[in-house]
Amino acid sequence: MTLKALLVGAGGMGRAWGKMMRYCTDVHIGGWIDVQPDLAAQATDELKLSNVHTGTDFEQALVEVQPDFVVDVTTPEAHHDVTIAALVAGIPVLGEKPMADSMEHARAMVSASEQANVLYMVSQSRRYNAQLHALRRFIDTRIGRLGVLNSDFYIGAHFGGFRDKMLSPLILDMAIHTFDAARFLSNADPVAVYCEEFNPSWSWYKGDACATAIFEMTDGLRYTYCGSWCSEGAHTSWDGEWRAVGSYGSVLWDGHTAPCADVVQQRGGFYSETESQTIESDQDFVSGIEGALHDFLHALKTGSTPMGECHDNIKSLAMVFGAIESAQTKQRVVFSEL
């Protein structure tokens, strides 16, 4: 069964979604709009799409296209209005991260999904990584109860444009991927956070481009995040570098190669005896935004709950705003009070 999509947003990321969806046999792009006049029409021409409604008016497009779902690839500030309008009309939404520009808006979007009883999923695309899933399975089955989870993210990204002027460019625009991966790997949720943001003298960002955060997670886990978007050279992967420490061993993942582990074989002596193991991943895994789309379509057709469903994803978003609030107030933030 082919489902009709209305794509909202024709910028760089919107065009990446359009190009990917063009080759998905389960999807027909019935409409594409953008607030900039003619931008969506230009995108459809570039991708050689035909019979596509284009324009700038979202409400009109909902009526004209009658889509089976909406893909929201607008700016974070626009996610709230686009998503709620679609949900109120009874149309499922697959939206880009972050869910919203504030927790207040995010809660309103989740509430709209509940009231309409319609699926709203956030495309947390870096969850769709075969090595990440292999690492999660290994933690679940071989490492035992996690006590420590660490991640490092160091990339000197010279974007130019709006990111250079953001107040919290690293945490607000990028760290949600890493925070969400931490929740996925640990199967734990945030309880409290203490975070510091700072900006080295050589940084080309107006806002603080570096951060260190300590998260208290459920089940007693501590998750630590260290990151910088102005670190020249010796870059980590975009997925970061990870260490997970459990009762039966430790696992390392550099975000590029297969995760590796030292698993306890025998306790005793100064060091326990361990065995090194490499963790193989599924070679047929569908990754990135394509993986998110497949998960969303499967949920529409079967009623299953996809990764990134709004009730789950809002917990990752809360980690972002909790960390920012902690850095601003220089106080530990408890998520139940956020």
Give the model's pLDDT for residue 100: 95
Q: Same domain, yes or no, for 324 and 230?
A: yes
Give the model's pLDDT for residue 284: 84
SS3 (DSSP) at 110: helix
Number of domains in the chain: 2
Q: CA torsion sign, 317 to 73 to 240 to 261?
A: positive
CATH of residue 107's domain is: 3.40.50.720
Inside any domain, residue 290: no
Q: Same domain, yes or no, for 56 and 186?
A: no
Q: Same domain, yes or no, for 192 and 329?
A: yes
| More confidently predicted of 197 and 165 | 197
- In angstroms, how far is CA 160 from the centroid of its own chain? 22
**What's the predicted TM-score (pTM) here?**
0.94
CA nearest neighbour of 97 among 33, 17, 32, 211: 17
CB-based burial label for 315 (10 Å; 0-12, 13-18, 19+) = middle
Q: Same domain, yes or no, for 165 and 234?
A: yes
Per the CB < 8 A criterion, the answer to whether 249 and 263 are in contact is yes
Other beta carbons less than 10 A from residue 47's beta carbon: 16
Q: Same domain, yes or no, for 95 and 193?
A: no
Inside any domain, residue 256: yes
> Of all residues in the chain, what percent are helix, strand and coil, respectively (each to 5)?
40, 25, 35
**Average pLDDT score over the chain:** 95
CATH of residue 192's domain is: 3.30.360.10
Inside any domain, residue 306: no
Inside any domain, residue 295: no
Inside any domain, residue 312: no
pLDDT (tens digit per residue) in 56-67: 999 999 999 999
Q: Same domain, yes or no, for 261 and 239?
A: yes
Q: Write the DSSP string, 249-277.
A: EEEEE-SSSPPEEEEEEE--SSS-EEEEE
pLDDT (tens digit per residue) in 319-338: 999 999 999 999 999 999 87
**pLDDT over 90 at 39, yes or no:** yes
Q: Write the DSSP string, 77-100.
A: HHHHHHHHHHHHTT--EEEESSS-
Inside any domain, residue 311: no
| Predicted confidence band of residue 131 (pLDDT cuts 50, 70, 90) | very high
**pLDDT over 90 at 234, yes or no:** yes
Out of 92, 118, 144, pick the residue that ends a domain. 118
Q: Same domain, yes or no, for 81 and 183?
A: no
Q: CA torsion sign, 178 to 175 to 6 to 102?
A: positive
Other beta carbons less than 10 A from residue 204's beta carbon: 14
Q: Same domain, yes or no, for 50 and 143?
A: no
Out of 118, 152, 177, pick the residue that ends a domain. 118
When computed from its CA atoms, the radius of gyration of the chain, rounded to whole angstroms, is 21
Give the model's pLDDT for residue 1: 80
| Predicted confidence band of residue 31 (pLDDT cuts 50, 70, 90) | very high
Domain residues for 39?
A: 3-118
pLDDT (tens digit per residue) in 78-87: 999 999 999 9
Give the model's pLDDT for residue 254: 97
Give the model's pLDDT for residue 272: 93
